[in-house]
Amino acid sequence: MEITLTNSNSLKITSGNCTLITNPSLNEEYNIGLFNDPLTNIQNNNLNVKTPGEFEIDNFYITSVGYKTSSKNNENELSNTESNENSPLQPSLMNFDNETSSDHNEKITVQTIESNEQYAIYHIIQVEGIKILALGNQIIPSNHKSKLSSENPKVIFTPHNNISAVDNNTFSKLISDIDYRVLVISDLQESYEEEKLYDNSRISFGIKEKSNLNKLNITQNNMPKEKRIVLLNQTK
């Protein structure tokens, strides 16, 4: 698969005739879109995932995890999910085989999966035998640590603010039991200092290798042996 950072500040995963694009710009929710054709414009995506559930299209399988709330913008209610008994929504399996076509040039109706009372806080993406944890700016409650460890993603997409702190870094604690190999910064390079991020990733995450790339080509066979932080340059 090929991973790039678009000029609209979205991470793009291309595999075969299908492309997945993240939308890290929203603080209240973390969305992903699936495309039937790698050259398709983002407005014409087949599937826009905004809510918890399980979704499959082509060789992408996505588990979106989130919470039910009376208001997506209620920060107090979200921050309390760690201390109360509010548990993640049980994902419901949705198969979109009927919405796709073997002819990848055929125009497909946009499918938007959303709810006013549900929102996703992170996604587990499986493609080409590799699991990817994709998350935005929402805080993931610490009681998800064991779930994430059991998923054991090899690639993690994270905003730079999860790397910015050195002391008492809750994100590093959350993923400390995951045997990941690649940590990809999922937002603009202009908004942070590269060397500081490299230093912080070494101190807080024990990452010794770093890469600055235009695109990341990754397979099961070329997975790094040691943990690596990757900063991507923007492309079209």
pLDDT at 88: 39
Share of the chain above pLDDT 90, in %: 27
Beta bridge partners of 108: none
The residue-averaged pLDDT of 7-26 equals 77
Domain ranges (residues) in the chain:
2-235
Q: What is the pLDDT of residues 147-194, one digit of tens each?
A: 899 999 999 998 888 888 777 788 898 999 999 999 998 877 666 788
Q: What is the mean pLDDT of residues 111-138?
A: 75
Using CA atoms of 223, 226, 231, 236 in order, give the dihedral in degrees to the nearest 10. Answer: -10
Q: Which residues pair with 181 in a beta bridge?
A: none
Rounded mean pLDDT of the chain? 72
pLDDT tens for each residue of 64-73? 887 654 444 4
Q: What sign for the dihedral angle of Cα 33, 112, 139, 62? A: negative
Conformational region of residue 165, where left means phi above 0, alpha means psi within -120 to 50, and beta covers everything else = beta
Quote the CA–CA distance of 64 and 86 in Å, as a whole number: 17
List of residues 6+ apart from 83 with CB closer than 8 A: none
pLDDT for residue 120: 65
How confident is residue 58, by pLDDT bands cut at 50, 70 and 90? confident
pLDDT tens figures, 73-119: 433 333 333 333 343 333 332 222 333 333 333 333 334 444 445 56
The pLDDT of residue 225 is above 70: yes
Per-residue model confidence (pLDDT) at position 31 = 60
pLDDT surpasses 90 at 126: yes
How many whole angstroms separate alpha carbon 99 and alpha carbon 176? 39
pLDDT higher than 90, residue 3: yes
With respect to CATH, is domain 2-235 assigned 4.10.1250?
A: no
DSSP the chain: -EEEEETTS-EEEEETTEEEEEETT-SS--EEEEESSTTS-GGG-SEEE-SSEEEEETTEEEEEEEEE-S-TT-HHHHHGGGTSS--PPPP-EEE-GGG--S-TTS----EEE-BTTEEEEEEEEEETTEEEEEE-SSPPPGGGHHHHHHH--SEEEE-THHHH--TT-HHHHHTTT----EEEE-S-GGGS-HHHHHHHHHHHH---EEEEES-EE--SSS--SS-EEEEEPEE-
pTM recorded for the entire structure: 0.74
Q: What is the pLDDT of residue 223?
A: 95
